[in-house]
Structure 1
Amino acid sequence: MSALKDKLTDGLYGLGWSTVKKLPEPVATGLGRRIADFAWKRRGKSVLRLESNLARVVPDATPERLAELSKAGMRSYMRYWMESFRLPTWSKERVESDVDIKGAHYLLEGVAAGRGVIIALPHLANWDLAGVWVTRALGLPFTTVAERLKPETLYDRFVAYRESLGMEVLPHTGGSAFGTLARRLRAGGLVCLVADRDLSASGIEVTFFGDTARMPAGPAILAQQTGALLLPVTLWYDDTAVMRGRIHPPVDVPESGTRAERTSVTTQALADAFAAGIADHPEDWHMLQRLWLADLDERPEGPQGPDREGERTA
């Protein structure tokens, strides 16, 4: 049964990539919205978890407001997928017109100075589209990390997809990703990491919307060891076809204290930047799984699916 499920999962994503990009854009947009509304009305575990997470982000929200946010959140999530299935066909001109990210000077100045740069971002709006903006609009190649997915054929699809967008993709497993990322940064390169969830033992505890969660240590440790600039990025959608975003000022990496203390302080600063962006646009935060330690049971969670790759970055 597991093999059949894996084959079906891989086939569905393959169908998405092959079919959605061929649809007229209004048709694809409408399809995504209908799928989102159908999933929201079913009130499955993912939708209920999304509402639970949003209740922490917007603690004074009424049940009606939470329902509105979760419905908008599912639509935002499906917009991510509809866009992602079509991204390989987007031209540089399309990317430049449909992405508006402020603060690019922080990134460009860091790269021009020959200093490695780490972009760290949460699961907001469309992080793949932000990556395409970096590679196509800014002309900057970068390296990222992907969690190994099951089945292996699905993981291969995602790697091939991101490589087609101009990204170098490293597998998280195997132990060599961190060293490769560090080498890229020391050579003045750019590394981009999705970094708002890590349930592993190596995750760093942070205060996030008033409660404890774990986030990856990787961005902070890489910044410490390589001297790279560490830039939080937050993204959001508005009522237009444009995705907007902000590259925040560099996070200050402490020079004193133990490695653990410096890692904790730096990761908390990232979490604070993420929280600011999420609070402004909660409906665009695609966190459909457990995050806060208070919500976890004693069983460890493994990789959650294709939208969750890259959670543990080092």
Structure 2
Amino acid sequence: MSGSGGTDGPGRLAGLKDSVTDGLYGLGWATVKKLPEPVAKGLGRRIADVVWKRRGKSVLRLEANLARVVPDASPEALAALSRAGMRSYMRYWMESFRLPAWSRERAAGSFDPKDVHHLTDAIASGRGVVLALPHMGNWDLAGVWVTRGLGLPFTTVAERLKPESLFDRFVAYRESLGMEVLPHTGGSAFGALARRLRAGGLVCLVADRDLSASGVEVSFFGEPARMPAGPAILAQQTGALLLPVTLWYDDTDVMRGQVHAPIDVPESGTRAEKTSVMTQALADVFAGGIADHPEDWHMLQRLWSADLEQRQEDRTA
């Protein structure tokens, strides 16, 4: 009996939370896509405003991150920016829940990126391409535009989510949109991505937050942070072109974007030195796009090294 109270109780609570989380996402995919579009948009804004007013951990973290992006913002301006950020974030979710029901024409017409020739010219030449994006706008919509609008299949990597059923749901969702999805953990993703690139394929990676212990330290808005080494290493090892991409919303129903000029592999230096230079260049492009459209950067987690170290101190105190 004592064993049941000491371990099964917390385990049951965790299991219940996982089941509720999975159920809510499932409800979103099942119901939101059936709503008339104006209703779905209005629902997203109302949910965003309610969450923002509650000032929970995610909203406070978003605001703290945005304070680094816009350091001169007054408290009132920062609060308005975080509210706009939550509305942008919920627009992402409302669109994502509805994407499986969109026609090819609707998907192709819902994203208008600049300088796509950087991507299409490389693919046409038979060269592999790594597209690296921050958590901006709707990266799923951009992916659908690539698969359905350009007719280009691509491979991506997904973070392992809890519960496992939720991760499976996300994988199935993205595969239904024409993406090949590999799990971030397990050790085989890097090799598979390298094979796709050597064959002239396309790889898309969200690359502004390190999920491993091997991230590269960069200066991001003037402070140390760690970002994934993968995009730079893949470009070095396979000869693929590394292209940063930034995304944002405006006042229309069309998402905007920019395919930036390629980040070249330095001619000299060790692999670690080249990786550091390339990842810093990637961080600089991301910072420029985020500074231009801070409300569309959906970073609701700790990112900067100082914040991660503070969390570790809090846990050990």
**Aligned: 1:104 with 2:116:** yes
**Aligned: 1:149 with 2:161:** yes
| Alpha-carbon offset, residue 298 of structure 1 | 6.1
Match of 1:245 in 2: 257
1:44-59 to structure 2, matched below 5 A, reads: 44-59=56-71
Match of 1:228 in 2: 240
1:158-197 to structure 2, matched below 5 A, reads: 158-197=170-209
Q: Point out the structure with max Rg over C-alpha.
A: 2
Which protein, 1 or 2, shows the higher relative CO under an 8 Å CA cutoff with sep ≥ 6? Answer: 1
Match of 2:26 in 1: 14
**Aligned: 1:25 with 2:40:** no
Match of 2:275 in 1: 263
Q: 1:79 aligns with which of 81, 86, 91?
A: 91
Match of 1:116 in 2: 128
Match of 1:89 in 2: 101
Residue type of the alignment partner of 1:129: L
> Over aligned residues, Cα RMSD in angstroms?
0.9
- Give the distance between the partners of 1:121 and 1:243, measured in 2 at CA: 15
Residue type of the alignment partner of 1:102: K
Q: Deviations over 1:120-171 (max 9, x none)?
A: 0000010000000100000000000011111111000000000000000001
Q: Deviations over 1:213-237 (max 9, x none)?
A: 0000000000000010000000000
Provide TM-score, normalisation by structure 1: 0.94
| Alpha-carbon offset, residue 297 of structure 1 | 3.1
Residue segments in structure 2 that go unaligned for 5+ positions in a row: 1-12, 313-317
**Aligned: 1:285 with 2:297:** yes
| Alpha-carbon offset, residue 255 of structure 1 | 2.5
**Aligned: 1:130 with 2:142:** yes
Identity among equivalent pairs (%): 82
| Kept in 2: contact 1:199–1:214 (CA 8 A) | no
Segments ≥4 residues shifted beyond 6 Å: none
Match of 2:6 in 1: none
| Alpha-carbon offset, residue 199 of structure 1 | 5.0
Residue type of the alignment partner of 2:53: K
- Give the distance between the partners of 2:261 and 2:159, measured in 1 at CA: 28
Secondary structure of 1:231's aligned partner = strand
Residue type of the alignment partner of 2:215: G
Of the structure 1 ranges 259-268 and 86-95, higher mean CA displacement relative to structure 2 is found in: 86-95
**Aligned: 1:62 with 2:74:** yes
Secondary structure of 2:248's aligned partner = strand
| Alpha-carbon offset, residue 201 of structure 1 | 2.0
Residue type of the alignment partner of 1:12: L
Match of 2:229 in 1: 217
Richer in helix (by share): 2
- Give the distance between the partners of 1:108 and 1:200, measured in 2 at CA: 31
Secondary structure of 2:261's aligned partner = coil
| Kept in 2: contact 1:144–1:169 (CA 8 A) | yes
Secondary structure of 2:34's aligned partner = coil
| Alpha-carbon offset, residue 96 of structure 1 | 2.4
Provide TM-score, normalisation by structure 2: 0.93
| Alpha-carbon offset, residue 21 of structure 1 | 0.2
- Give the distance between the partners of 1:236 and 1:172, measured in 2 at CA: 25
- Give the distance between the partners of 2:102 and 2:249, measured in 1 at CA: 18
